Amino acid sequence: MTKTIRWICEKCNKKWIHPIETCLYCNRKIIKQIGTKLKVIGYTKVNIPCPPHPLVPYNVLMLEDEYGNRMPKKVIKDYKIGDIYEDKPDSSENTISIVKIKYDFYEAVKEALELIGDIDVSENTRILIKPNLSIPGYAYTGICTNPKILNALIQYLLDKGAKKENITIAEQSFFVPLEKIGKKSGIDNIIKKFNVNYVDISKTEFEEKQEREFTFEVSKIVNDFDLIFNVPAIKTDMLLGIDGAFENLTRFLSKKTFDELAKDVKKAVMALSVLPNMFPKFITIGDASIGMQGNGPAQYGEPGFYNMIFAARNPVVHDKAVQEILCLRKLPYVELAGKLSLGENDISKINFVGNELDALRRDVKQPIGSKLIKRD
Amino acid sequence: MERYVKGVGMTKFSFEDRSTHDMSHEAIQQALNDSDINIDKIDAAVVSTVDTEINDERQRMYGPVLSSLLKKKIPIIRVPAVCGGGGAAFWTASRLKYNNVLVLGVDKVLSSPTQLITEEIMNAGDNFWEQEEGVIFPAVNALVAQQHMLKYGTTHDDLLKIAYKNHYHGSMNPKAKFFGKKISLEEIKNAPIVSTPFNLYDCSISVNGAAAVIISNDKTDIKVEGSALATDYLAPFEREDMTVWNGTVEAGKESFKQSQIEPKDINVAELHDAFTIVELIAYEDLGFCKKGEGAKLIRDGYTNLDGKMPVNTSGGLKARGHPISPTGVAQIVEITDQLRNRCGERQVNNPKLGLTHNVGGAGGTTTVHIFKKVAG
């Protein structure tokens, strides 16, 4: 649900719109005040575009919650004063939630999951989280999954009743020792903080699976969990268009399979389009808190500062929506996956919750150099 | 410490493609000539300029740039406060214990298309709560105007009368962008919508320019009677009442207290009319009328050139133009010229007390200065 957030001193009730630890006046603890009953108290229709907001007209609503706290909200739909503003959660496969982070990663991750119908977690739920740690990069570069996102997700799972013993972070890198990436990205600190399990997928057992003409060696680890979170760092990719839900799954494959696919890029794109079939159902949480633009997915890309989190139950829906939001060219593997009925890739049939598509679209620097990206 | 204005100077505010060096030189030379001193007598300088990506001469170290121009190794401080930078620079300079202090505001903002300037100016709002939600500056001010309309019955026609007044004044100012160009109320009312309810004439016009003032301990005919700077929360939505700009209230109170005069004593004022609503709210927050009665002042012609207290005889940000940092300095140029009776056809009848009100952001940083005509 779209919500207002204020950080309030438990003693003197002074409010901040930015998170702080202690009250500067009484040095007391700060508590969060979350408003969810939002009423439209003002609006303006904007006709002037600018690079982060290229589509006009759009509306900026002034919303006020049950505590009298206000926040602006960009929408395309027209509202009038006195209207109630609410998001309707939707757990269907063709839904994607998009949340803009308002300084608080925990609330953003929580909101993104709630908007896709939330998750059922008990103390016995075995949870696997697959971040993107394939190349070393500091958090601010957007190369790896932001540790703040991982921190928020684990905390949310624990708050929902999960046991830390039942939470596993799994990743492998085909290029660099995993320890090096974990340290540089800051993910190591999160793993230590929560004392959750950390598995190098390359050291797990693999099993052969067949899909169409492709043979994949897939880590058996994916069979051991009740709930899987695929948490890619959203990046432009010179070869694939973006690194999103699909690309992040490749590190569940053996290096042998990966190397085999890497020999023929066209074949790799086709294999990628059927890859989700190798796995049990999973939820994708796209980390675009920093994000990347330009010649990603590594050091030649530039931070995008998208400040968004995506959540979807279907990877086709997820990657298609990301492509549309960032105004990137069509992604061949998503188009193919759509044709193979792996998920909805008709943007008009994808249900956006949290924010409207046209309120989010922005031009980013395109990845160049790929001969595979279809010019449309 | 008693402070006086020795001399003033400014370029024409225009779309002309001039370097900041060139514009600075012209404004400084005029101020030196007006002061009847040469550059040897300048002991320190305070410069305000924005650090922008949108022109062809981005320069963060403007102090040393000014040192190169002046060919002096005196203390030079840079005081950026976006649109309020000029006033903040003057406020800072008036507190320095040097005899003659040069205050310079200079900006070249017109090197880019409107959408890039719009984005650049939007960066003066809160990053995640406002910028991410498309709250460009016309939008945030339009939202404030709407709240004022809802609360006090102010109409859009009232606001457009402010635009008409300032354009009429500006048409008589040779340094104004709109010099010699009379705009009818009909044209103003029929202008394209920028951000409802605002149309083009509710918004000030971006220009290039420079303005300079020399402050001195030496007694002159223009005494700085009051000098105050105050701040308010960055985002209007965070304030208790969006229609009260506390920076203006506090800086106004302090400046009047220092001057030992009341608002009714002011003969001429330059108020920050980045948007029509900002001037109207300033009427109220500076105490020229009761809260909510700002519209009455404009309806009654109180602030017209022939009114009880003419406001923005220069044309204001609306018609003289708004080059960002130079604006606050240019206001002091106008008030000095008015008190020295050298404003030609826009001259107010023998004013003794003048006020300037300069705002950075949507009420974030505000300076109020009061000047008195004394025996030189």
In chain A, what residues touch B197 (CB-CB under 8 Å)? 44
Answer yes or no: do B237 and A62 touch at CB < 8 A. Answer: yes
Best of A50, A102, A290, A362 to substitute, by most chain B Cβ atoms within 10 angstroms, is A50
Q: pLDDT digits over A308-347, tens only? A: 999 999 999 999 999 999 999 999 999 999 999 999 999 9
CATH of A95-360, one of 2.60.40, 1.10.3470, 3.40.50, 1.10.150: 3.40.50
Partner residues linked to B373 by β-bridges: B222
Q: Tokens for A300?
A: 């030649």
What is the value of pTM for the model shown? 0.95
pLDDT, average across residues A366-371: 70
Please report whether residue B99 resides in a domain: yes
DSSP letter string over A252-275? GB-HHHHHHHHT-HHHHHHHHHHG
Among B119, B139, B150, beta carbon nearest to A44: B139
> Cα-flanking dihedrals φ and ψ of residue B202, to 5°?
-80, -15
Band of residue A266 on the pLDDT scale cut at 50, 70, 90? confident
Residue A375's pLDDT is 43
Please report whether residue B83 resides in a domain: yes
Residues of the domain holding B63: 3-112+207-216
The CATH number linked to B91 is: 3.40.47.10
Residue A373's pLDDT is 45
Please report whether residue B166 resides in a domain: no
Whole-angstrom distance, CA of residue A176 vs CA of residue A174: 6
Please report whether residue B282 resides in a domain: no
Among A340, A326, A371, residue whose Cα is nearest residue A98: A326
> Cα-flanking dihedrals φ and ψ of residue B141, to 5°?
-70, -35
> E-assigned strands of B249-374?
268-270, 353-360, 365-373
| Residue B78 · residue B47 · CB < 8 Å | yes
Domain count, chain B: 1
Q: pLDDT digits over B171-203, tens only? A: 999 999 999 999 999 999 999 999 999 999 999
Q: Tell me if residue B322 is catalytic.
A: yes
Please report whether residue B298 resides in a domain: no
Answer yes or no: do B193 and A48 touch at CB < 8 A. Answer: no
Q: Tokens for B73?
A: 């190794």
Please report whether residue B57 resides in a domain: yes
Q: pLDDT digits over B119-143, tens only? A: 989 988 999 999 999 999 999 999 9
pLDDT, average across residues B6-13: 98
Whole-angstrom distance, CA of residue A143 vs CA of residue A291: 8
Lookup result for tokens 């404009």: B298
Lookup result for tokens 């009455």: B296
Please report whether residue B324 resides in a domain: no
Q: What is the 3-state secondary structure (H, E, C) of B217-239?
A: CCCCCEEEEEEEEEECCCCHHHC
Residue B328 reports pLDDT greater than 70: yes
Among A100, A229, A97, A215, residue whose Cα is nearest residue A160: A229
Lookup result for tokens 């013993």: A165
In chain B, what residues touch A42 (CB-CB under 8 Å)? 143, 146-147, 150
Domain ranges of chain A: 4-22+29-85, 95-360
Residue B54 reports pLDDT greater than 90: no
The CA-atom distances, in angstroms, between B62 and each of A88, A93, B253, B314 are: 51, 55, 33, 28
In degrees, rounded to 5, the angle at the alpha carbon of residue A27 between the alpha carbons of residues A25 and A32 is: 90
What number of residues does chain B have? Answer: 376
Answer yes or no: do B115 and A51 touch at CB < 8 A. Answer: yes
Residue A44 reports pLDDT greater than 80: yes
Q: Which stretch of DSSP H or E encloses residue B92?
A: helix B85-93
Whole-angstrom distance, CA of residue A7 vs CA of residue A18: 7
Lookup result for tokens 């709630």: A114
Residue B36 reports pLDDT greater than 50: yes
